Protein backbone atom coordinates (compact mmCIF):
# COMPACT_ATOMS: atom_id res chain seq x y z
CA UNK A 1 0.00 0.00 0.00
CA UNK A 2 1.65 3.27 -1.08
CA UNK A 3 2.11 5.86 1.63
CA UNK A 4 0.32 8.58 -0.33
CA UNK A 5 -2.64 6.44 -1.46
CA UNK A 6 -5.96 8.28 -1.22
CA UNK A 7 -8.30 6.94 1.43
CA UNK A 8 -11.85 7.03 0.16
CA UNK A 9 -14.81 5.64 2.09
CA UNK A 10 -15.82 2.14 0.94
CA UNK A 11 -18.74 -0.16 1.67
CA UNK A 12 -18.31 -2.27 4.79
CA UNK A 13 -19.17 -5.54 2.97
CA UNK A 14 -16.64 -4.82 0.20
CA UNK A 15 -13.94 -4.00 2.76
CA UNK A 16 -14.59 -7.16 4.83
CA UNK A 17 -14.33 -9.23 1.65
CA UNK A 18 -11.22 -7.42 0.40
CA UNK A 19 -9.28 -7.96 3.66
CA UNK A 20 -10.27 -11.65 3.66
CA UNK A 21 -12.56 -11.72 6.71
CA UNK A 22 -15.20 -13.39 4.49
CA UNK A 23 -14.59 -15.70 1.53
CA UNK A 24 -17.19 -14.03 -0.67
CA UNK A 25 -18.75 -10.59 -0.80
CA UNK A 26 -22.21 -12.14 -0.62
CA UNK A 27 -21.21 -13.84 2.66
CA UNK A 28 -20.16 -10.44 4.02
CA UNK A 29 -23.47 -8.93 2.87
CA UNK A 30 -25.41 -11.75 4.51
CA UNK A 31 -23.53 -11.23 7.79
CA UNK A 32 -24.39 -7.51 7.68
CA UNK A 33 -28.07 -8.27 7.07
CA UNK A 34 -28.09 -10.74 9.97
CA UNK A 35 -26.70 -8.10 12.35
CA UNK A 36 -23.31 -9.78 12.84
CA UNK A 37 -21.38 -6.68 11.73
CA UNK A 38 -21.48 -3.65 14.01
CA UNK A 39 -19.96 -0.18 13.87
CA UNK A 40 -20.09 1.91 17.07
CA UNK A 41 -22.23 -0.81 18.67
CA UNK A 42 -24.97 -0.53 16.05
CA UNK A 43 -25.73 -3.15 13.39
CA UNK A 44 -24.86 -1.72 9.98
CA UNK A 45 -26.20 -2.28 6.51
CA UNK A 46 -23.80 -3.69 3.95
CA UNK A 47 -23.83 -0.35 2.14
CA UNK A 48 -22.56 1.61 5.16
CA UNK A 49 -19.38 3.53 4.35
CA UNK A 50 -16.24 3.12 6.44
CA UNK A 51 -13.00 5.07 6.45
CA UNK A 52 -9.67 4.75 8.31
CA UNK A 53 -10.10 4.89 12.07
CA UNK A 54 -13.48 3.11 12.08
CA UNK A 55 -13.81 0.17 14.48
CA UNK A 56 -15.73 -2.77 12.99
CA UNK A 57 -16.97 -5.67 15.14
CA UNK A 58 -17.71 -8.99 13.41
CA UNK A 59 -19.43 -11.72 15.41
CA UNK A 60 -18.31 -15.24 14.53
CA UNK A 61 -19.25 -18.57 16.11
CA UNK A 62 -17.47 -18.69 19.46
CA UNK A 63 -15.73 -15.30 19.27
CA UNK A 64 -15.90 -11.72 18.08
CA UNK A 65 -13.40 -9.90 15.85
CA UNK A 66 -12.68 -6.26 16.70
CA UNK A 67 -10.94 -4.62 13.74
CA UNK A 68 -9.74 -1.04 13.37
CA UNK A 69 -9.60 0.11 9.75
CA UNK A 70 -6.13 1.37 8.76
CA UNK A 71 -6.51 1.38 4.94
CA UNK A 72 -9.65 1.19 2.85
CA UNK A 73 -9.55 -1.37 0.07
CA UNK A 74 -12.20 -2.07 -2.54
CA UNK A 75 -10.42 -4.91 -4.37
CA UNK A 76 -9.47 -8.25 -2.85
CA UNK A 77 -5.76 -8.41 -2.04
CA UNK A 78 -3.29 -11.05 -0.89
CA UNK A 79 -3.12 -12.06 2.77
CA UNK A 80 0.08 -10.10 3.64
CA UNK A 81 -1.38 -6.86 2.23
CA UNK A 82 -4.79 -7.55 3.79
CA UNK A 83 -3.28 -7.89 7.29
CA UNK A 84 -1.76 -4.41 6.96
CA UNK A 85 -5.19 -2.89 6.19
CA UNK A 86 -6.48 -3.34 9.77
CA UNK A 87 -5.41 -3.66 13.40
CA UNK A 88 -6.87 -6.60 15.27
CA UNK A 89 -8.04 -5.66 18.79
CA UNK A 90 -9.85 -8.96 19.39
CA UNK A 91 -9.52 -10.85 22.65
CA UNK A 92 -7.38 -13.96 22.67
CA UNK A 93 -9.39 -17.04 21.69
CA UNK A 94 -9.37 -19.87 24.21
CA UNK A 95 -9.37 -23.30 22.62
CA UNK A 96 -10.29 -26.53 24.42
CA UNK A 97 -6.83 -28.03 23.94
CA UNK A 98 -5.26 -24.92 25.52
CA UNK A 99 -7.38 -25.31 28.67
CA UNK A 100 -6.61 -29.02 29.04
CA UNK A 101 -9.95 -30.42 27.87
CA UNK A 102 -9.75 -33.70 25.99
CA UNK A 103 -9.82 -33.37 22.22
CA UNK A 104 -10.74 -36.23 19.91
CA UNK A 105 -8.81 -36.71 16.71
CA UNK A 106 -10.72 -35.80 13.55
CA UNK A 107 -12.08 -38.83 11.78
CA UNK A 108 -11.75 -41.04 14.87
CA UNK A 109 -15.37 -42.16 14.51
CA UNK A 110 -17.99 -42.33 17.21
CA UNK A 111 -16.87 -42.20 20.84
CA UNK A 112 -16.79 -45.47 22.76
CA UNK A 113 -19.08 -46.05 25.73
CA UNK A 114 -16.20 -45.24 28.08
CA UNK A 115 -15.41 -41.99 26.24
CA UNK A 116 -19.10 -41.00 26.29
CA UNK A 117 -19.23 -41.51 30.07
CA UNK A 118 -16.11 -39.37 30.50
CA UNK A 119 -17.64 -36.63 28.35
CA UNK A 120 -20.90 -36.72 30.33
CA UNK A 121 -18.97 -36.56 33.61
CA UNK A 122 -16.98 -33.60 32.30
CA UNK A 123 -20.16 -31.79 31.27
CA UNK A 124 -21.71 -32.46 34.66
CA UNK A 125 -24.53 -34.81 33.58
The pLDDT confidence band at residue 61, using thresholds 50, 70 and 90, is: confident
Name the strands in the sheet holding 86-88, side by side, starting at the edge strand that comes first in the sequence: 42-43, 37-39, 55-60, 63-69, 86-88
Give me the CATH number covering residue 70.
3.10.290.10
List the domain range (segments joined by +) for residue 24: 1-91
- Whole-model pTM? 0.73
- Buried-exposed string 17-41: b where 16+ CB fall within 10 A, e elsewhere: bbbebbeebeebbebbeeebbbbee
The answer on pLDDT for 121 being more than 70 is: yes
The answer on pLDDT for 40 being more than 80 is: yes
**104 domain-assigned:** no
* Total number of domains constituting the chain: 1
> What is the pLDDT, as a whole number, of residue 8?
84
**123 domain-assigned:** no
Percent over 70 (pLDDT), the chain: 89
**115 domain-assigned:** no
Q: How far apart are CA 37 and CA 44, in angstroms?
A: 6
pLDDT digits (tens, 9 = 90+) for 74-109: 899 999 999 999 999 998 877 766 776 667 788 888
Amino acid sequence: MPANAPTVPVRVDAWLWSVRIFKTRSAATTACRAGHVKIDGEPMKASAKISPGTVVRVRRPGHELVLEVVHTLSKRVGAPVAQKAYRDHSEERVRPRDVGLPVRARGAGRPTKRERRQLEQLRGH
